[in-house]
Structures are given as C-alpha cells and as structure tokens.
Amino acid sequence: MNDKEQYLKLLREEVKPVKIGNKNKTGECGMCGISVKKLYPQKVGQVDFMICERCKTIMDI
C-alpha cells in the first residue's frame, strides 16, 4: 500500500466523537485551571464545566 492509499484510508475512517467539558471532582477549575476546594457546575451552551467561584462570578455577570 503506498502513501496515497494510506492517506485516503485515514480520511475515510469514521471519527470517534470527542467529549467536551469538565465534570471532574479533582478540585481543578475547568476554565482557569486553578486548584480549589469547592467547584460549581456551569453549563455553557451544551458543554458542562465544573468551575471555581471566581469564574462563576464572571459567568454570572
């Protein structure tokens, strides 16, 4: 199989869906990345994030 056929095969393959968002409970904000003790759920469009209090106040404005 030559390079052209390999590239065409890759282009035709089905791409797996990617999960977007951050529903973690590790204590890291999904927007700014800082470590905090308390996270708040926030939905942005169809994406769910766990964000810190600082980002929550910004999103509530």
How far is 21 from 29, CA to CA, in rounded Å? 11
Written as one string, the DSSP assignment of 29-49 is: -TTT--B-S--EEEEETTEEE
Instruction: State the pLDDT confidence band at 20, using cuts at 50, 70 and 90.
Output: low
Residue 15 or residue 23, greater confidence: 15
Parse the chain into domains and list their residue ranges: 18-60
The helix or strand, by DSSP H or E, that contains position 17, with its residue range, turns out to be: none
Q: Are 28 and 48 in contact (CB under 8 A)?
A: no
Which tokens belong to 53?
């209090």
Instruction: State the pLDDT confidence band at 54, using cuts at 50, 70 and 90.
Output: very high
